């Protein structure tokens, strides 16, 4: 049995490396961003990419769909976009000389849905994706429609400070397994981007995996061992983000209004399992959990007015919280009574 597990882990790493290399043929730099997206897909979750326009977020998603050889649809989110434009609508169509109401599927019926600039649509339209992201299905007109598997929403959003944006509802944010911040490229990376995009050769990713292979990778992730001390460490980290928890960290008590949900714990553990596999281990370590925390939890913290007044971002608050959570249970760095 151990040989089978080792073989599956080795196959996982080989496929992951092939996918990373193929996307890297198109995307210049942004190694941490690419790895973060691939880790989330291997964990079976949706991804939110945040960054100013022009950083290659859309190109990354399109290249990934090409490398995975999956069906791909793109929806450009705008203020006038309606839920039916995403999910589909019932139309009166003629069949065999008779008119009848027929459901015409929207772009959500695909494997990879690129929700481009998702925060430029109204919250009503943003919320149209809730059921699809959580349950892999769509209900319209009282009829339940299953989506093809695998199904991922890869969304891009502009920073909220930019004109014409709407904050994503908390319920919508919580359905993204990872939120990844896309930084501005370095001088060398910017030079590489110019070379690739202004010359005669335009790179395009070629298929290296299919849907069945990706699902097999997701199944391998769930076989990675998780010891009880490491699991409880991850759960205490999630509880530490809650200002009224018995395990709250000082930074959470001071600057957080609402902490991470149980989905945050799921994302943290699944992402940590992927990181363990990539590091050649069949068991999750404490370091895997710490490394998984930023992408898994940053979008699940709702900061209070004190944080806003001090100009703190969620990443800084989260870093303080993670630092406050000890590996050994029974010693809490900054405990606050539950009834405080």
Q: What is the CATH number of the domain that holds 116?
A: 3.40.50.300
210 in the same domain as 121: yes
pTM: 0.85
In a domain, residue 84? The reply is yes
- How confident is the model at residue 240, as a pLDDT? 94
Say yes or no to pLDDT of 6 above 80: no
Q: Do 35 and 111 share a structural domain? A: yes
Residues 184 and 247 in one domain: no
Residue 340 lies in a domain: no
User: Do 165 and 242 belong together in one domain?
Assistant: no
Co-location of 41 and 184 in the same domain: yes
pLDDT for 54 equals 67
Inter-residue contact 177 to 37 (CB < 8 Å): no
Domain count, the chain: 2
Looking at the structure, tell me whether residues 131 and 19 fall in a common domain.
yes
For residue 86, which of 153, 159, 142 has the smallest C-alpha distance? 153
336: in domain: no
291, pLDDT greater than 50: yes
Instruction: Tell me: do 121 and 19 sit in the same domain.
Output: yes
Give the whole-angstrom CA distance, residue 195 versus residue 112: 29
Find the helix or strand (DSSP H, E) in which 154 lies: strand 152-157
Cβ 71 vs Cβ 110: under 8 Å: yes
Instruction: Tell me the CATH number at 236.
Output: 1.10.8.80
Could you tell me if residue 338 is inside a domain? no
pLDDT band (50, 70, 90) for residue 295: very high
Nearest to 129 by CA among 317, 237, 116: 116
Asked if residue 24 and residue 82 are part of one domain, the reply reads yes
331 lies in a domain? Answer: no
Q: Clarify whether residues 120 and 7 are in a common domain.
A: yes
Task: Decide if 191 is inside a domain.
Answer: yes
What are 11-54's pLDDT values in tens digits? Answer: 899 999 998 888 888 777 777 888 899 999 999 999 998 887 76
Same domain, 31 and 55: yes
By residue range, what is the domain housing residue 139?
A: 2-220
Q: Do 145 and 210 fall into the same domain?
A: yes
Q: In terms of C-beta density within 10 A (0-12 exposed, 13-18 middle, 19 or more buried), how is residue 63 classed?
A: buried
Range from 141-145, 239-243, 303-307, 309-313 carrying the lowest mean pLDDT: 141-145
Do 38 and 184 fall within a single domain?
Answer: yes
């Amino acid at each position: 049995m151990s040989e089978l597990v080792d073989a599956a882990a080795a196959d996982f790493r080989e496929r992951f490396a092939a996918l990373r290399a193929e996307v890297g043929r198109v995307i210049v730099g942004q190694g941490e961003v690419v790895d973060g997206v691939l880790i989330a897909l291997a964990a079976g979750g949706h991804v939110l990419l945040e960054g100013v326009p022009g950083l290659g977020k859309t190109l990354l998603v399109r290249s990934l769909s090409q490398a995975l050889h999956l069906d791909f649809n793109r929806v450009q989110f705008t203020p006038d976009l309606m839920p039916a434009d995403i999910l589909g609508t019932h139309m009166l169509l003629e069949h065999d000389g008779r008119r009848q109401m027929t459901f015409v599927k929207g772009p959500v019926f695909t494997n990879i849905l690129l929700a481009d600039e998702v925060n430029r649509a109204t919250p009503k339209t943003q919320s149209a994706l809730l059921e699809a992201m959580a349950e892999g299905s769509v209900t319209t007109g009282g009829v339940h429609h299953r989506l093809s598997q695998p199904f991922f929403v890869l969304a891009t959003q502009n920073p909220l400070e930019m004109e014409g944006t709407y904050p994503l509802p908390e319920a919508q944010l919580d359905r993204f397994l990872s939120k990844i911040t896309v930084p501005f490229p370095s001088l060398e990376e910017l030079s590489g981007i110019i070379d690739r995009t202004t010359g005669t050769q335009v790179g395009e990713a070629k298929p290296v995996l299919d849907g069945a292979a990706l699902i097999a990778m997701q199944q391998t992730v769930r076989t990675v061992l998780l010891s009880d001390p490491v699991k409880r460490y991850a759960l205490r980290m999630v509880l530490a983000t809650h200002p009224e928890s018995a395990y709250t960290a000082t930074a959470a008590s001071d600057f957080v209004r609402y902490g991470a949900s149980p989905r945050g714990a799921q994302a943290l553990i699944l992402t940590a399992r992927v990181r363990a596999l990539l590091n050649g281990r069949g068991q999750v370590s404490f370091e895997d959990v710490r490394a998984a925390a930023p992408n898994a939890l940053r979008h699940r913290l709702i900061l209070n007015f004190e944080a806003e007044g001090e100009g703190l971002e969620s990443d800084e608050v989260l870093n303080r919280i993670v630092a406050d959570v000890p590996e050994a249970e029974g010693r809490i760095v900054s405990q606050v009574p539950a009834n405080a």
